[in-house]
Amino acid sequence: MARCGMNVPALVIFDCDGTLVDSEELGTSVLVEMAGELGLNLPLRETNALFRGWQLDRCVAQLESWLGRKLPDDFVAQVRLRTRSTFQAKLQPIPGALDLVRALRLPMCVASSGPREKIELSLSLTGLLPYFKDRIYSGYEIGSWKPDPGLFLHAARAMGVEPARCAVVEDSLVGVQAGIAAGMRVFAYQPDEVAPQMPPEVQILRQLEELLPALRQAVS
């Protein structure tokens, strides 16, 4: 069911990592590899589940807590470089993402906690950039990161749409929390298993193509 006050959706706001592009585990694998080089051995699957949707600074702080010391001064810069190389070699769109954005007849944008350069690289490598080229919003540009709702509210204002008329498509718990806090209708892409603590009002998408009929149902 639609959230209270939700009429015809006027805007679809997509997260990027793990929602449009299959980047979450790739990005975490870089952090796990680099942490291992410093003597901190981490399981990829569990670390990826924990870090999903986190901004890099928060991940770095967690690594430092586990390691018991500060990471090298150039750690973040090296993560960015190695992630870029990994993405260029391996990044793919989420199954169904290209078909979805081609078929969607509503205004849409991307709102991601990542830096603009990373968002644009990810979308470019996967063929998605032309659909969002001038409608990309980064948490780094406004100093707001999920689960704070500021980024989604900023995207809605920039697109000229009231929050209650926005639909958010996310994959992470922090992103879902941000969408709910923004007063938007939230869909969670969960292809394997539903994340613990997923709020009951969130509509689960096992496949991205399920979004189109779900949006139509919201206005029927």
Tens of pLDDT along the chain (220 residues) come to 334 444 568 999 999 999 999 999 999 999 999 999 999 999 999 999 999 889 999 999 999 999 999 999 999 999 999 999 999 999 999 999 999 999 999 999 999 999 999 999 999 999 999 999 899 999 999 999 999 999 999 999 999 999 999 999 999 999 999 999 999 999 999 998 898 889 999 999 999 999 999 887 644 3
List, for residues 181-212, the tens digit of each pLDDT value. Answer: 999 999 999 998 898 889 999 999 999 999 99
Paired tokens of 146: 């999920």
| Cβ pair 155, 163 in contact under 8 A | no
* Strand-strand pairing, 108-112 and 11-14: parallel
Residue with tokens 């890099």: 56
- The H or E element containing residue 52 is none
- CA gap 137, 155 in Å, rounded: 6
Burial of 83 (0-12, 13-18, 19+ CB in 10 A): buried
- Residue in 15, 17, 22, 171 annotated catalytic: 15
> Is 15 annotated as catalytic?
yes
Burial class (CB in 10 A: 0-12, 13-18, 19+), 137: buried
> Is the model's pTM score more than 0.85?
yes
State how far the Cα of 217 lies from the Cα of 93, in Å rounded to an integer.
Answer: 26
Structure letter (DSSP) for residue 165: G
pLDDT at 169: 98
d(CA 45, CA 25): 8
Using alpha carbons, select from 136, 142, 113, 139 the residue that is nearest to residue 124: 136
So what's the pLDDT on residue 8? 67
The residue type of 192 is D
DSSP alpha helices (H): ranges in the chain?
24-37, 44-51, 56-67, 75-90, 97-103, 116-125, 139-142, 150-159, 173-181, 211-219
- pLDDT on residue 195: 82
* pLDDT reported for residue 173: 95
Domains of the chain: 11-22+92-219 (3.40.50.1000), 24-90 (1.10.150.240)
Closest to 207 (Cα-Cα) out of 49, 52, 92, 95: 95
Alpha-carbon distance 153 to 4, whole Å?
18
